Amino acid sequence: MNHNAKSIRPFIGAKNFEVSRSFYSDLGFEESVLSPDMSVFKTGTMAFYLQNAYVKDWIDNTMIFMEVENVSNFWNELTALNLTEKYESIKLVPIRNLDWGKECFVHDPSGILWHFGEFNK
């Protein structure tokens, strides 16, 4: 089966929609408001939908992996944003070197775990 896919866009929830909108904008995503309860956030050709919806079990089990070109550069830019000072509930986890590559982690204001990784070449 040939999908000819152009993108994949997960839907994620937010415990506090306005705080999450602000967080993702600060993280460098471009927001397009679709309705009072949903926005799409884009970077390059990738995107995800943020919903004004919170189901604890769903949010607590949501993880997203985003491949970046250079994790070290990404980490330096990420820490320069001082997000942990602006958002009390987020958490940043430094780069880990693994057998497949390296990654760092960000827990968003709702608790969603983002993996930002770089595969070995």
- Give the Cα separation of 44 and 7 in Å (integer): 11
Q: Both ends of the chain: CA-CA distance in Å?
A: 28
Taking only the tens place, the pLDDT of each residue in 79-102 is: 999 999 999 999 999 999 999 999
Q: What's residue 110's pLDDT? A: 97
The model's pTM: 0.94
Taking only the tens place, the pLDDT of each residue in 5-46 is: 889 999 999 999 999 999 999 999 999 999 999 999 999 999
Question: Is the Cα dihedral 7, 20, 89, 16 positive or negative?
Answer: negative
Q: What are phi and psi of 82, to 5 degrees?
A: 55, 40
- Give the Cα separation of 119 and 70 in Å (integer): 9
Question: Which single residue is written with the structure tokens 């497949």?
Answer: 100
Q: Which amino acid is at 93?
A: V
Query: Do the Cβ atoms of 31 and 39 come closer than 8 Å?
Result: yes
Residue 10: CA count within 13 A, CB half-sphere:
11
Q: What's residue 27's pLDDT? A: 97
Query: Do the Cβ atoms of 66 and 116 come closer than 8 Å?
Result: yes
- Give the Cα separation of 91 and 100 in Å (integer): 24
